[in-house]
Amino acid sequence: MSSVASPFGLKPAFHTSGIIRQLQSTIVSGFPTDIFQFSPVAIDPATGALTVVAPGNPVVGAFMGVEWTGTDGRRRVGNRWEANTVGTDIVAYYTEDPYMVYEIQSNDPVPLADVGAQFNFSALGGNAVTGLSNVSLDHAGGAGTDCRILGVNPAPDNIFGDAFTIVQVQLSNHQYVAARAAI
């Protein structure tokens, strides 16, 4: 429901090709920050590994999950990376396509007039129990560069102007695409 604040991150909704493709990367062993499922991530140019990204910085996509071999030799799979985890053979899954459409909950009512406008994400974080991100669209913070609003999630209990509107967005500050202005 978009009348209740329960942000779930940057959740892939669809792609015009019909397929949401996940790519593989890695996370540096011992990486000191939690990465939750559906958190915006970037490729660290220094290591080539996934990293968390602060609002207003280029994004490559959304974190989808991770698998790794722990120090005890057991293979593990999870929807979040717990800070300071040490392991080997780390495979991190993420979305990368700049034309992917995502759903994200706003921290403020979004009017129809904001279709095409750009806003940043809220501060990063998540739920350690569910492993899900609690990133939201920072509509209350004003214009930004992270993502462009395309429309509203078509659920029957979600419309423009709801207290915490769930909107469909594309990344407008993608790491692999040159900057372009919103309408």
Within a domain: 59:
yes
Distance set, CA 120 to CA 48, 106, 160 (Å) = 24, 10, 18
Q: How many whole angstroms from its chain centre is CA 101? A: 11
Residues 3-12, mean pLDDT to the nearest whole number:
92
Domain coverage including residue 74: 18-94
Within a domain: 52:
yes
Does the model's pTM come out above 0.95?
A: no
Within a domain: 35:
yes
Within a domain: 65:
yes
Within a domain: 154:
no
CA–CA distance, 33 with 85 (Å, rounded to integer)? 9
Count of structural domains, the chain: 1
Within a domain: 143:
no
CA–CA distance, 52 with 44 (Å, rounded to integer)? 9
pLDDT in tens, 62-118: 999 999 999 999 999 999 999 999 999 999 999 999 999 999 999 999 999 999 999
pLDDT in tens, 106-159: 999 999 999 999 999 998 899 999 999 999 999 988 888 899 999 999 988 999
Mean pLDDT value across the chain = 93
Which residues in the chain belong to E strands, given as ranges? 11-14, 23-25, 40-43, 50-52, 61-70, 75-78, 87-94, 101-105, 118-119, 147-152, 166-171
Within a domain: 22:
yes
pLDDT in tens, 30-54: 999 999 999 999 999 999 999 999 9
